[in-house]
Structure 1
Amino acid sequence: MTSWIITGGIGCGKSSVTELLAKHLLKNGFEVFSADRSAQTLMDEPAVLGELKRQLGEDAVVSKDGKDVANREWLRSEVFADVVKRQILEKILHPGVLQDLEKSREAHLNGGANLFLAEVPLHYEIGGTVSADLIIVVAASPEVQKRRLMERRGLDESIIEQMLRAQWPIEAKVERGDVVIWNDGDRSALEAQVLTLARQHWQA
Protein backbone atom coordinates (compact mmCIF):
# COMPACT_ATOMS: atom_id res chain seq x y z
CA MET A 1 0.00 0.00 0.00
CA THR A 2 1.22 3.47 -0.88
CA SER A 3 1.13 6.20 1.79
CA TRP A 4 0.88 9.92 1.05
CA ILE A 5 1.06 12.73 3.60
CA ILE A 6 -0.55 16.12 2.98
CA THR A 7 1.02 18.89 5.04
CA GLY A 8 1.72 22.62 4.80
CA GLY A 9 0.84 25.91 6.44
CA ILE A 10 -2.32 26.92 8.25
CA GLY A 11 -4.86 28.49 5.91
CA CYS A 12 -3.12 27.08 2.83
CA GLY A 13 -5.86 24.65 1.85
CA LYS A 14 -4.57 21.27 3.04
CA SER A 15 -8.07 19.96 3.66
CA SER A 16 -9.21 21.05 0.19
CA VAL A 17 -6.29 19.22 -1.41
CA THR A 18 -6.98 16.14 0.71
CA GLU A 19 -10.65 16.24 -0.28
CA LEU A 20 -9.79 16.52 -3.98
CA LEU A 21 -7.25 13.70 -3.82
CA ALA A 22 -9.79 11.47 -2.10
CA LYS A 23 -12.40 12.37 -4.71
CA HIS A 24 -10.17 11.47 -7.64
CA LEU A 25 -8.10 8.61 -6.22
CA LEU A 26 -10.01 6.74 -3.53
CA LYS A 27 -12.54 4.45 -5.17
CA ASN A 28 -13.30 2.08 -2.30
CA GLY A 29 -14.86 4.38 0.28
CA PHE A 30 -11.99 4.50 2.75
CA GLU A 31 -11.79 7.67 4.80
CA VAL A 32 -8.73 9.89 4.88
CA PHE A 33 -6.86 10.15 8.18
CA SER A 34 -6.86 13.65 9.70
CA ALA A 35 -4.38 14.47 12.47
CA ASP A 36 -6.50 17.49 13.43
CA ARG A 37 -9.65 15.39 13.86
CA SER A 38 -7.70 12.87 15.90
CA ALA A 39 -6.34 15.62 18.17
CA GLN A 40 -9.81 17.11 18.66
CA THR A 41 -11.20 13.73 19.69
CA LEU A 42 -8.30 12.95 22.01
CA MET A 43 -8.57 16.34 23.68
CA ASP A 44 -11.83 15.39 25.41
CA GLU A 45 -10.72 11.97 26.64
CA PRO A 46 -10.58 11.75 30.46
CA ALA A 47 -6.87 10.89 30.59
CA VAL A 48 -5.96 13.83 28.35
CA LEU A 49 -8.23 16.21 30.27
CA GLY A 50 -6.44 15.16 33.44
CA GLU A 51 -3.07 15.93 31.89
CA LEU A 52 -4.31 19.29 30.60
CA LYS A 53 -5.38 20.25 34.11
CA ARG A 54 -2.21 18.93 35.71
CA GLN A 55 0.25 20.52 33.29
CA LEU A 56 -1.57 23.64 32.08
CA GLY A 57 -3.89 24.47 34.98
CA GLU A 58 -7.57 24.35 35.80
CA ASP A 59 -8.44 26.91 33.07
CA ALA A 60 -7.53 24.33 30.41
CA VAL A 61 -10.73 22.41 31.13
CA VAL A 62 -14.33 23.63 31.43
CA SER A 63 -17.63 21.97 32.27
CA LYS A 64 -20.37 21.89 29.61
CA ASP A 65 -23.70 20.22 30.25
CA GLY A 66 -22.22 18.58 33.30
CA LYS A 67 -19.29 17.11 31.39
CA ASP A 68 -15.64 18.19 31.40
CA VAL A 69 -14.26 19.22 28.00
CA ALA A 70 -11.12 20.98 26.81
CA ASN A 71 -11.34 24.76 26.97
CA ARG A 72 -10.44 25.24 23.33
CA GLU A 73 -10.80 29.02 23.26
CA TRP A 74 -8.49 29.39 26.26
CA LEU A 75 -6.01 26.90 24.86
CA ARG A 76 -5.91 28.70 21.51
CA SER A 77 -5.23 32.08 23.08
CA GLU A 78 -2.74 30.80 25.65
CA VAL A 79 -0.88 28.11 23.76
CA PHE A 80 -0.10 30.05 20.60
CA ALA A 81 1.22 32.93 22.72
CA ASP A 82 3.50 30.77 24.87
CA VAL A 83 6.00 28.38 23.31
CA VAL A 84 6.42 26.40 26.55
CA LYS A 85 2.66 25.80 26.87
CA ARG A 86 2.48 24.86 23.20
CA GLN A 87 5.22 22.26 23.65
CA ILE A 88 3.40 20.86 26.68
CA LEU A 89 0.15 20.53 24.72
CA GLU A 90 1.96 18.88 21.82
CA LYS A 91 3.63 16.35 24.12
CA ILE A 92 0.23 15.49 25.58
CA LEU A 93 -1.51 15.05 22.21
CA HIS A 94 1.06 13.96 19.63
CA PRO A 95 1.72 10.39 20.87
CA GLY A 96 -1.99 9.60 20.71
CA VAL A 97 -2.37 11.19 17.28
CA LEU A 98 0.55 9.19 15.88
CA GLN A 99 -0.88 6.02 17.39
CA ASP A 100 -4.24 6.76 15.77
CA LEU A 101 -2.53 7.34 12.43
CA GLU A 102 -0.76 4.00 12.47
CA LYS A 103 -3.97 2.21 13.51
CA SER A 104 -5.76 3.87 10.60
CA ARG A 105 -2.99 2.90 8.19
CA GLU A 106 -3.13 -0.71 9.36
CA ALA A 107 -6.92 -0.75 8.99
CA HIS A 108 -6.61 0.56 5.42
CA LEU A 109 -3.99 -2.08 4.63
CA ASN A 110 -6.08 -4.89 6.08
CA GLY A 111 -9.10 -3.59 4.20
CA GLY A 112 -7.31 -3.91 0.89
CA ALA A 113 -6.71 -0.21 0.17
CA ASN A 114 -4.00 0.67 -2.34
CA LEU A 115 -3.55 4.24 -1.14
CA PHE A 116 -3.47 5.73 2.36
CA LEU A 117 -3.93 9.52 2.60
CA ALA A 118 -3.04 11.27 5.85
CA GLU A 119 -3.43 14.98 6.50
CA VAL A 120 -0.70 15.86 9.02
CA PRO A 121 -0.33 19.65 9.36
CA LEU A 122 2.65 19.49 11.74
CA HIS A 123 4.56 16.75 9.91
CA TYR A 124 7.82 18.71 9.89
CA GLU A 125 7.32 20.32 13.29
CA ILE A 126 7.18 16.86 14.91
CA GLY A 127 10.35 15.81 13.15
CA GLY A 128 8.93 14.10 10.07
CA THR A 129 8.38 10.94 12.10
CA VAL A 130 5.50 9.64 9.97
CA SER A 131 6.74 7.39 7.17
CA ALA A 132 5.34 8.01 3.69
CA ASP A 133 6.08 7.41 0.04
CA LEU A 134 5.19 10.98 -0.93
CA ILE A 135 5.07 14.23 1.05
CA ILE A 136 2.74 16.82 -0.48
CA VAL A 137 3.20 20.38 0.80
CA VAL A 138 0.30 22.77 0.30
CA ALA A 139 1.50 26.38 0.37
CA ALA A 140 0.19 29.91 -0.03
CA SER A 141 1.44 33.44 0.49
CA PRO A 142 1.19 34.87 4.03
CA GLU A 143 -1.31 37.46 2.82
CA VAL A 144 -3.63 34.75 1.54
CA GLN A 145 -3.19 32.68 4.70
CA LYS A 146 -4.19 35.63 6.88
CA ARG A 147 -7.18 36.54 4.73
CA ARG A 148 -8.53 32.99 4.76
CA LEU A 149 -8.14 32.68 8.52
CA MET A 150 -9.94 35.97 9.06
CA GLU A 151 -12.77 35.14 6.64
CA ARG A 152 -13.28 31.46 7.43
CA ARG A 153 -12.47 31.26 11.12
CA GLY A 154 -13.22 34.79 12.25
CA LEU A 155 -9.83 35.14 13.93
CA ASP A 156 -8.23 38.49 14.65
CA GLU A 157 -4.83 39.39 13.27
CA SER A 158 -2.93 39.06 16.55
CA ILE A 159 -4.04 35.44 17.01
CA ILE A 160 -3.25 34.69 13.36
CA GLU A 161 0.27 36.07 13.72
CA GLN A 162 0.82 33.86 16.76
CA MET A 163 -0.47 30.81 14.88
CA LEU A 164 1.81 31.48 11.93
CA ARG A 165 4.84 31.94 14.18
CA ALA A 166 4.03 28.65 15.93
CA GLN A 167 4.59 26.72 12.68
CA TRP A 168 7.62 26.29 10.49
CA PRO A 169 7.94 29.01 7.81
CA ILE A 170 6.15 27.83 4.69
CA GLU A 171 9.36 28.26 2.70
CA ALA A 172 11.09 25.63 4.87
CA LYS A 173 8.29 23.14 4.25
CA VAL A 174 8.31 23.85 0.51
CA GLU A 175 12.05 23.07 0.38
CA ARG A 176 11.50 19.66 1.97
CA GLY A 177 8.37 18.51 0.19
CA ASP A 178 8.37 15.94 -2.62
CA VAL A 179 5.51 17.80 -4.32
CA VAL A 180 4.37 21.39 -3.76
CA ILE A 181 0.88 22.68 -4.51
CA TRP A 182 0.68 26.47 -4.51
CA ASN A 183 -2.79 27.54 -3.51
CA ASP A 184 -3.14 31.30 -3.94
CA GLY A 185 -5.79 30.93 -6.65
CA ASP A 186 -9.35 29.68 -6.95
CA ARG A 187 -10.80 26.19 -6.60
CA SER A 188 -10.45 25.35 -10.29
CA ALA A 189 -6.74 26.21 -10.26
CA LEU A 190 -6.27 24.06 -7.19
CA GLU A 191 -8.11 21.10 -8.73
CA ALA A 192 -6.01 21.36 -11.88
CA GLN A 193 -2.85 21.00 -9.79
CA VAL A 194 -4.29 18.04 -7.89
CA LEU A 195 -5.20 16.28 -11.14
CA THR A 196 -1.69 16.86 -12.46
CA LEU A 197 -0.23 15.42 -9.27
CA ALA A 198 -2.50 12.38 -9.51
CA ARG A 199 -1.52 11.70 -13.13
CA GLN A 200 2.20 12.03 -12.40
CA HIS A 201 2.43 10.10 -9.15
CA TRP A 202 -0.36 7.54 -8.99
CA GLN A 203 -1.28 4.47 -10.95
CA ALA A 204 -4.12 2.45 -9.42
Structure 2
Amino acid sequence: MSNFIVGLTGGIGSGKTTVANLFADLGITLVDADIVSREVVAPGTIGLTRIAEHFGQSILHENGELNRAALRERIFSTPPEREWLNNLLHPMIRQEMLAQLKKATSPYAILVVPLLFENGLDRLVNCTLVVDISPELQTQRTMERDSVSAKQVQNIIGSQASRAEKLSKADDVIDNHGTVSALQSKVALLHNKYLKLADHT
Protein backbone atom coordinates (compact mmCIF):
# COMPACT_ATOMS: atom_id res chain seq x y z
CA MET A 1 0.00 0.00 0.00
CA SER A 2 1.11 3.56 -0.65
CA ASN A 3 1.37 4.92 2.87
CA PHE A 4 1.44 8.48 1.63
CA ILE A 5 -1.82 9.82 0.23
CA VAL A 6 -2.38 13.19 -1.42
CA GLY A 7 -5.95 14.51 -1.45
CA LEU A 8 -6.60 16.35 -4.72
CA THR A 9 -9.54 18.72 -4.92
CA GLY A 10 -10.80 21.89 -6.55
CA GLY A 11 -14.11 23.43 -7.52
CA ILE A 12 -16.10 22.38 -10.57
CA GLY A 13 -14.30 23.24 -13.82
CA SER A 14 -10.99 23.91 -12.07
CA GLY A 15 -9.10 21.20 -13.97
CA LYS A 16 -8.85 18.51 -11.27
CA THR A 17 -9.06 15.71 -13.83
CA THR A 18 -6.35 17.23 -16.03
CA VAL A 19 -4.03 17.55 -13.03
CA ALA A 20 -4.87 14.04 -11.79
CA ASN A 21 -4.11 12.59 -15.23
CA LEU A 22 -0.71 14.34 -15.29
CA PHE A 23 0.15 12.56 -12.03
CA ALA A 24 -1.13 9.29 -13.53
CA ASP A 25 1.21 9.86 -16.50
CA LEU A 26 4.05 9.83 -13.95
CA GLY A 27 2.96 6.38 -12.77
CA ILE A 28 0.97 7.46 -9.74
CA THR A 29 -2.16 5.52 -8.75
CA LEU A 30 -5.37 7.58 -8.75
CA VAL A 31 -8.45 6.77 -6.71
CA ASP A 32 -11.28 8.96 -7.98
CA ALA A 33 -14.33 9.50 -5.76
CA ASP A 34 -16.56 10.18 -8.79
CA ILE A 35 -15.63 6.83 -10.35
CA VAL A 36 -16.03 5.01 -7.02
CA SER A 37 -19.43 6.62 -6.48
CA ARG A 38 -20.55 5.12 -9.81
CA GLU A 39 -19.05 1.72 -8.97
CA VAL A 40 -20.99 1.39 -5.68
CA VAL A 41 -24.31 1.79 -7.53
CA ALA A 42 -23.49 -0.38 -10.56
CA PRO A 43 -26.02 -3.14 -11.45
CA GLY A 44 -25.75 -6.05 -9.04
CA THR A 45 -24.39 -3.97 -6.14
CA ILE A 46 -26.04 -3.73 -2.74
CA GLY A 47 -26.04 0.06 -3.19
CA LEU A 48 -28.26 -0.09 -6.25
CA THR A 49 -30.52 -2.73 -4.69
CA ARG A 50 -31.13 -0.53 -1.64
CA ILE A 51 -31.80 2.56 -3.80
CA ALA A 52 -34.35 0.66 -5.94
CA GLU A 53 -36.04 -0.71 -2.80
CA HIS A 54 -36.28 2.78 -1.33
CA PHE A 55 -37.24 4.86 -4.38
CA GLY A 56 -38.95 2.20 -6.50
CA GLN A 57 -38.11 0.69 -9.88
CA SER A 58 -38.83 3.98 -11.69
CA ILE A 59 -35.38 5.08 -10.54
CA LEU A 60 -33.79 2.51 -12.89
CA HIS A 61 -33.26 2.54 -16.66
CA GLU A 62 -34.66 -0.37 -18.65
CA ASN A 63 -31.21 -1.99 -18.72
CA GLY A 64 -31.17 -2.06 -14.91
CA GLU A 65 -28.70 0.81 -14.49
CA LEU A 66 -29.36 3.73 -12.15
CA ASN A 67 -31.19 6.64 -13.75
CA ARG A 68 -29.06 9.41 -12.26
CA ALA A 69 -31.19 12.24 -13.63
CA ALA A 70 -34.35 10.78 -12.07
CA LEU A 71 -32.56 10.22 -8.77
CA ARG A 72 -31.10 13.75 -8.78
CA GLU A 73 -34.56 15.18 -9.34
CA ARG A 74 -36.02 13.14 -6.46
CA ILE A 75 -33.36 14.10 -3.93
CA PHE A 76 -32.77 17.68 -5.03
CA SER A 77 -36.21 18.84 -3.94
CA THR A 78 -36.39 16.65 -0.81
CA PRO A 79 -33.56 17.13 1.71
CA PRO A 80 -34.56 14.10 3.87
CA GLU A 81 -34.25 11.85 0.79
CA ARG A 82 -30.87 13.37 -0.02
CA GLU A 83 -29.76 12.69 3.54
CA TRP A 84 -30.99 9.08 3.31
CA LEU A 85 -28.99 8.59 0.11
CA ASN A 86 -25.84 10.19 1.55
CA ASN A 87 -26.09 8.03 4.68
CA LEU A 88 -26.32 4.95 2.47
CA LEU A 89 -23.62 5.78 -0.06
CA HIS A 90 -20.96 7.81 1.79
CA PRO A 91 -19.78 4.91 4.01
CA MET A 92 -19.76 2.59 0.95
CA ILE A 93 -17.76 5.09 -1.12
CA ARG A 94 -15.33 5.70 1.73
CA GLN A 95 -14.79 1.96 2.28
CA GLU A 96 -14.22 1.31 -1.44
CA MET A 97 -11.81 4.26 -1.76
CA LEU A 98 -9.78 2.95 1.18
CA ALA A 99 -9.75 -0.55 -0.35
CA GLN A 100 -8.46 0.85 -3.66
CA LEU A 101 -5.82 2.99 -1.87
CA LYS A 102 -4.63 -0.15 -0.06
CA LYS A 103 -4.00 -1.81 -3.44
CA ALA A 104 -2.02 1.15 -4.80
CA THR A 105 1.54 0.16 -5.72
CA SER A 106 2.98 3.58 -6.61
CA PRO A 107 5.26 5.41 -4.10
CA TYR A 108 2.30 7.60 -3.13
CA ALA A 109 -1.33 7.66 -4.22
CA ILE A 110 -3.72 10.43 -5.13
CA LEU A 111 -7.28 10.53 -3.85
CA VAL A 112 -9.35 12.75 -6.17
CA VAL A 113 -12.39 14.11 -4.31
CA PRO A 114 -14.48 17.11 -5.45
CA LEU A 115 -15.86 17.58 -1.90
CA LEU A 116 -12.70 16.65 0.02
CA PHE A 117 -13.10 19.27 2.76
CA GLU A 118 -16.91 19.41 2.72
CA ASN A 119 -17.21 15.67 3.44
CA GLY A 120 -14.33 15.56 5.92
CA LEU A 121 -12.34 13.21 3.68
CA ASP A 122 -9.20 15.31 4.16
CA ARG A 123 -8.84 13.24 7.36
CA LEU A 124 -7.91 10.25 5.18
CA VAL A 125 -4.93 11.93 3.49
CA ASN A 126 -1.42 13.08 4.46
CA CYS A 127 -1.58 16.33 2.55
CA THR A 128 -4.01 18.26 0.36
CA LEU A 129 -3.59 19.76 -3.09
CA VAL A 130 -6.10 22.30 -4.40
CA VAL A 131 -6.40 23.14 -8.10
CA ASP A 132 -7.35 26.80 -8.15
CA ILE A 133 -8.89 29.07 -10.78
CA SER A 134 -10.96 32.24 -10.56
CA PRO A 135 -14.77 31.89 -10.26
CA GLU A 136 -15.11 33.66 -13.63
CA LEU A 137 -12.94 31.11 -15.41
CA GLN A 138 -14.59 28.30 -13.46
CA THR A 139 -18.00 29.42 -14.71
CA GLN A 140 -16.82 29.85 -18.29
CA ARG A 141 -15.07 26.44 -18.48
CA THR A 142 -17.98 24.55 -16.89
CA MET A 143 -20.53 26.20 -19.19
CA GLU A 144 -18.46 25.22 -22.22
CA ARG A 145 -17.76 21.69 -21.00
CA ASP A 146 -21.19 20.72 -19.67
CA SER A 147 -23.40 22.99 -21.83
CA VAL A 148 -25.07 24.41 -18.71
CA SER A 149 -26.20 27.92 -17.82
CA ALA A 150 -24.19 30.34 -15.71
CA LYS A 151 -26.91 30.10 -13.05
CA GLN A 152 -26.54 26.32 -12.79
CA VAL A 153 -22.78 26.68 -12.42
CA GLN A 154 -23.26 29.35 -9.73
CA ASN A 155 -25.58 26.99 -7.81
CA ILE A 156 -22.96 24.22 -7.90
CA ILE A 157 -20.16 26.61 -6.87
CA GLY A 158 -22.41 27.86 -4.07
CA SER A 159 -22.87 24.33 -2.72
CA GLN A 160 -19.10 23.74 -2.52
CA ALA A 161 -16.67 25.16 0.03
CA SER A 162 -15.63 28.69 -0.87
CA ARG A 163 -12.41 29.33 -2.76
CA ALA A 164 -10.93 31.11 0.29
CA GLU A 165 -11.85 28.19 2.55
CA LYS A 166 -10.27 25.62 0.20
CA LEU A 167 -7.11 27.70 -0.17
CA SER A 168 -6.79 28.20 3.59
CA LYS A 169 -6.95 24.42 4.14
CA ALA A 170 -4.66 23.43 1.26
CA ASP A 171 -1.10 22.25 1.84
CA ASP A 172 -0.30 22.84 -1.83
CA VAL A 173 -2.03 24.86 -4.53
CA ILE A 174 -1.78 24.58 -8.32
CA ASP A 175 -2.81 27.76 -10.09
CA ASN A 176 -4.53 26.58 -13.27
CA HIS A 177 -4.94 29.88 -15.14
CA GLY A 178 -2.12 29.06 -17.55
CA THR A 179 -1.30 26.49 -20.21
CA VAL A 180 -1.13 22.71 -19.95
CA SER A 181 2.67 22.83 -20.32
CA ALA A 182 2.84 25.21 -17.33
CA LEU A 183 0.67 22.72 -15.48
CA GLN A 184 3.02 19.86 -16.35
CA SER A 185 6.03 21.59 -14.78
CA LYS A 186 4.02 22.39 -11.63
CA VAL A 187 2.94 18.75 -11.37
CA ALA A 188 6.55 17.57 -11.90
CA LEU A 189 7.75 19.76 -9.00
CA LEU A 190 5.02 18.48 -6.68
CA HIS A 191 5.67 14.90 -7.80
CA ASN A 192 9.29 15.20 -6.63
CA LYS A 193 8.16 16.76 -3.37
CA TYR A 194 5.64 13.96 -2.71
CA LEU A 195 8.20 11.26 -3.56
CA LYS A 196 10.50 12.73 -0.87
CA LEU A 197 7.66 12.97 1.65
CA ALA A 198 6.52 9.41 0.86
CA ASP A 199 10.06 8.21 1.50
CA HIS A 200 9.87 9.50 5.05
CA THR A 201 6.52 7.96 5.99
CA 1:139 to 1:61, structure 2 compared with 1: closer, same or farther past 3 Å?
same
Alignment of 1:30-179 (within 5 A): 31-45=29-43, 46-53=45-52, 55=54, 57-58=55-56, 61-64=59-62, 67-77=63-73, 79=75, 84-108=80-104, 111=105, 113-128=106-121, 130-179=123-172
Q: Does the aligned pair in 2 maintain the 1:61–1:68 contact within 8 Å?
A: no
Q: How far does residue 172 in structure 1 lie from its aligned partner after superposition?
A: 0.6
Structure 1 residue 92: Cα displacement? 2.4
Alignment length, in residue pairs? 194
Q: 1:152 to 1:81 in 2, by over 3 A?
A: farther
SS state at 2:61 partner? strand
Alpha carbons 2:108, 2:194 under 8 Å: kept: no
CA contact (8 A) 2:13 2:142 kept: yes
Instruction: Indicate if the aligned counterparts of 1:7 and 1:14 stay in contact, CA closer than 8 A.
Output: yes
The answer to whether structure 1 residue 2 and structure 2 residue 4 are counterparts is yes
Which letter maps to 2:4? T
Q: Which amino acid aligns with 2:9?
A: T
In 1, Cα distance between equivalents of 2:169 and 2:189: 20
Counterpart of 1:22 in structure 2 is: 24
Instruction: Return closer, same or farther for 1:173/1:88 CA change in 2, 3 Å cut-off.
Output: farther
TM-score (norm 1): 0.81
1:59 shift after superposition = 8.1
CA displacement 1:127-173 (0-9 Å, x = unmatched): 23542222111121111111111111222233222221221112211
> Unmatched 5+ residue regions in structure 2?
none
TM-score by length of 2: 0.82
CA deviations 1:160-200 (Å, max 9, x no partner) are 22221221112211110100112122212222221222233
* SS of residue in 1 equivalent to 2:109: strand
Query: In the TM superposition, what is the alpha-carbon distance from 1:76 to its structure 2 partner?
Result: 4.0
Partner residue of 2:186 out of 190, 193, 198? 193
1:20–1:194 Cα contact (<8 Å) kept:
yes
Q: Is the 8 A contact 2:33 2:97 kept in 1?
A: yes
- 1:73 positional shift: 2.1
1:90-111 deviations in Å (ceiling 9; x for gaps): 2222111111111112212xx5
How much has 1:80 moved relative to structure 2? 5.3
3-state secondary structure, aligned to 1:89: helix
C-alpha distance in structure 2 between counterparts of 1:79 and 1:149, whole Å:
23
